[in-house]
Chains A and B, each alone.
Chain A
Amino acid sequence: MNVDLTMLEWARAQFAMTALFHFFFVPFTLGMSFIVAFFETIYVKTGKKEWKEITQFWQLIFGINFALGLSTGIIHEFEFGTNWSTYSWVVGDLFGAPLAVEGIVAFFMEATFAAISFFGWKRVSKGVHLASTWLLAIGSNLSALWILIANGFMQHPSNEFGFFNIETSRLEMSDFWTLIVQPVAQVKFLHVVTAGYTLASIFVLGISALYLLKGKHKDFAKKSAAVAAAFGLISSIFVAVIGDEHAYEVANTQPTKIASAEGLYVGEKGAPIVAIGIPKNLKATEVTSNEEGFVFKIELPKMLSLLGKRDPNAYVPGLKDLIEGNEEYGIWPLSKLAQIGKEAREDLFKYHEAKKAGDKAGMEAAKADFYKVVWEDKEKGISLTKADLIGYGYFANSNVSPDLIYPPVPPVFYAFHIMVGLGFWFILLFFMSWISIVKGTFENNTLVQKLAVISVPLPWIATSFGWMTAEIGRQPWTVFGVLPTAESVTPIALQNVQATFFLFLTAFVILGIAELKILFTVVKSGPKGAH
């Protein structure tokens, strides 16, 4: 299939824009839903009206975001059909299943209990209302779980839960349970939701600090800040711990992503992490040493091997190794993988040609060749067939450079490092705030209050960069190693994507302005303005 590269870029830009806009609301919703549940639980346990007032104020802010998060998510799902129909068709059986569960179970759970929680304060008992608020929080987070199971499949499409069906020319599911509980998806879920808890906690802490700096709503602000600091401290530490496990999963399932995130061109034993650096945008095929890859860098020796392989002297493959191969560690050259992928595509074609001609022997021969095992580890009980490498056939095209097998280094490097750096700042901020709150000095500690206010936008930057690391880092694949992005788009006219791009951009700008205006109005009017 010949796809105009410009069309591909417009489709990617539209999806990225929608995802980024959607992702402004999602982590906030994930975190605020539990913060509101915590506030309401304290209200029900103590029976004190001030806690009800606190709950209702933060619930109003949560509600504004909840509505926008839902609506932008729906746009996102439509884009799979409009711009990424080849992707949807090829992997729909695997990718679509968790999305369907998300829609049927989590979305309906969210919608039902959102109605009771937002509008049922005077209509149901305290207990039923509290249960609804908790179920809304659990439902919102379960929505994220199913989406991230789908995304986990895109990051690590193991042949343990799916296979390429020669009959239908589609990737199909073979084991739903394994798809759901694969660690790549579960660790991603934990990392994303706890990042959401951190983000919402910083928002509540920052707004509370703002009230204290202005000398307004002091009791409300101190109590809100205490809950936010406690939840934020636990969450931000957990984000870092689970982020380490996430990086381990990435290092071992997506070697091109981790090598790009660290600017590792040539694989090495005892590989370092670049703590700070300015990477160059080079072609791995032209680089001869890792020193060439940076304008300057400060390294932490052996840390990439330690964190990525749990062994300070372990070998971590570089981008060059993943193109040229490394016999010592069992990595094949890209040209060999591409040749096998090309043969798999030819087998697929032969099978369907034989089927049209009614040639059963030809069909069987093509099928046997398609599913031929090309690599096996008997001890571990895993293997790769030609079919598993069908995506690599794309790189057999003479006009596709081998340097396209990995994502661009600078954006992935910066996104990853800024996210990690901000993550450590959040732990420090919560720690300082929590100590100050427990000692009873937070009300007068203007330095920490100012730092909390200034930090309010930072977790949005961190979560957006985290998303960019995951999605740009997976390139050039939509489904890692299986389906190239260039072969996933809908072959439609460029103008269609351009038109909808600007349509969505206009809608997002209007919605964003409206959201911010409502948010500022609610924050300005304070807790008594709620409900």
Chain B
Amino acid sequence: MKKLITLLMVFFGSLLMASDKLMPNGIDPEVHKIDTTWGVILFFMWPILIIVSYKFVEFTLKKSGLEKDL
């Protein structure tokens, strides 16, 4: 649970960063500056999502009584 909260804090924390002043072409300088750490965190959401999804599938099968032997 703690890990999940940390992950959510990192996720939403990273969003609060838009600038007032834009670049000449209208792009936000904060987003133009590439945040590689945020990119890596985003990538690792994928395997986490797959693991969470599979666990939720098992939970659903047990809870519904369709498969108890998991």
A contact residues vs B (CB 8 Å cutoff): 34, 38, 41-42, 45-46, 48, 51, 141, 145, 156, 158, 160-161, 177-178, 180-183, 185-187, 189-190, 193-194, 197, 222-223, 226-227, 229-231, 233-235, 238, 242, 245, 248-249, 251-256, 308-311, 314-315, 317, 321-322, 329-332, 336-337, 374-375, 377, 380-382, 384, 389, 392, 434, 437-438, 440, 481
Contact across chains for A311 and B56 when beta carbons are under 8 A apart: no
A337 CB to closest chain B CB, in angstroms?
6
CA distance A197 to B54 in the complex (A): 12
Render B29-45 as a binary contact track against A, CB cut-off 8 A, 1 for contact. Answer: 11111111011101101
11 contacts between A and B (CB under 8 A): A160-B33, A160-B34, A180-B39, A181-B43, A223-B61, A227-B60, A238-B49, A331-B22, A337-B25, A375-B24, A437-B64
Is A158's CB under 8 angstroms from B32's CB?
A: yes
Q: A158-B34, A178-B34, A234-B49 are in contact. List 13 more A-B contacts (CB 8 A).
A: A38-B54, A41-B54, A46-B67, A181-B43, A230-B59, A252-B18, A252-B32, A253-B31, A315-B20, A377-B23, A380-B29, A384-B25, A392-B25
Residue in chain B with minimal CB distance to A267: B26
Chain B residues with CB below 8 A from A158, complex form: 32, 34
Chain B residue numbers with a CB within 8 Å of A141 are 46
| B60 & A181 in contact (Cβ 8 Å cutoff) | no
B57 sits at the interface (CB 8 A): yes
In the complex, the answer to whether A311 meets B29 with C-beta atoms within 8 Å is: no
CB distance from B60 to the nearest CB of A (A): 4
CA distance A381 to B49 in the complex (A): 34
* B39 contact from A38, A186, A193, A310, Cβ within 8 A: A186
Neighbouring B residues of A242 by C-beta, 8 Å: 45
Question: For residue B17, which residues in chain A have a CB less than 8 angstroms away from its CB?
Answer: 310
* A230 and B43 contacting across the interface, CB-CB below 8 Å: no
User: Which listed residue (B31, B46, B57) contacts A231, Cβ 8 A?
Assistant: B57
Bound CA–CA A249/B38 (angstroms): 12
- How many positions in chain B have a CB within 8 Å of any CB in the partner chain? 47
B5 within 8 A of A: no
CB proximity of A144 to chain B, nearest CB, Å: 10
Q: How far is the CB of A314 from chain B (nearest CB, A)?
A: 6
A181–B36 CB distance below 8 A: yes
Q: With A and B bound together, what is the CA distance between A309 and B16 in angstroms?
A: 8
CB–CB A253/B32 < 8 A = yes
Question: Complex: how many Å from CA A377 to CA B54?
Answer: 46
Contact pick for B35, options A183, A330, A332, CB 8 Å: A183
**Is there an interface contact between A382 and B28, defined as CB atoms closer than 8 Å?**
no
Nearest-Cβ distance from residue B20 to partner chain A, whole angstroms: 7
Q: Which residue of B is nearest A161, CB measured? A: B34
A473 to B67, CA, bound (A): 46
Do residues A189 and B54 form an inter-chain contact, with CB atoms below 8 A? no
Give the interface of B toward A (CB within 8 A): 11, 15-18, 20-36, 38-40, 42-43, 45-46, 49-50, 52-54, 56-61, 63-67, 69-70
Closest residue of chain A to B68 (Cβ to Cβ) is A46
CA distance A301 to B59 in the complex (A): 40
The list of the 5 closest CB pairs from A to B, nearest first, reads A181-B39, A252-B28, A255-B26, A186-B42, A252-B31
On whether A230 and B70 interact (CB within 8 A), knowing A141-B46, A437-B64, the answer reads no
B24, B28, B42: the one contacting A187 at CB < 8 Å is B42
A375 touches B23 (CB 8 A): yes
Is there contact, CB below 8 Å, between B69 and A46?
yes
- A304–chain B nearest beta-carbon distance, Å: 12
Question: B35 — which chain A residues lie within 8 A by C-beta?
Answer: 183
Option from B24, B27, B42, B66 in Cβ contact (under 8 Å) with A226: B66
Separation in Å of the A67 CB from the closest CB of chain B?
24
Chain B residues within an 8 Å CB radius of A34: 50, 53
User: Do A183 and B22 form a contact, CB below 8 Å, given A438-B60, A440-B64?
Assistant: no
Residues of A close to B15: CB separation below 8 A: 245, 248, 310
Knowing A322-B26, A440-B65, the reply to whether A186 touches B43 (Cβ < 8 A) is yes
CA of A51 to CA of B35, assembled, Å: 44
Q: Do B18 and A309 touch (CB < 8 A)?
A: yes
| A88–B38 alpha-carbon span in the complex (Å) | 29
CB proximity of A493 to chain B, nearest CB, Å: 35
Residues of chain A contacted by B60 (CB below 8 angstroms): 226-227, 229-230, 434, 437-438
> What A residues does B53 contact at CB under 8 A?
34, 38, 197, 230-231, 234-235
Distance of A246 Cα from B1 Cα, bound (Å)? 26
B18 touches A42 (CB 8 A): no
Q: Which residue of A lies closest to B18 (CB)?
A: A309
Q: How far does the Cβ of B31 sit from chain A's closest Cβ, in whole Å? A: 4
Q: Which residue of B lies closest to A48 (CB)?
A: B69
With beta carbons under 8 angstroms apart, the residue of A161, A238, A314, A375 that contacts B18 is: A314
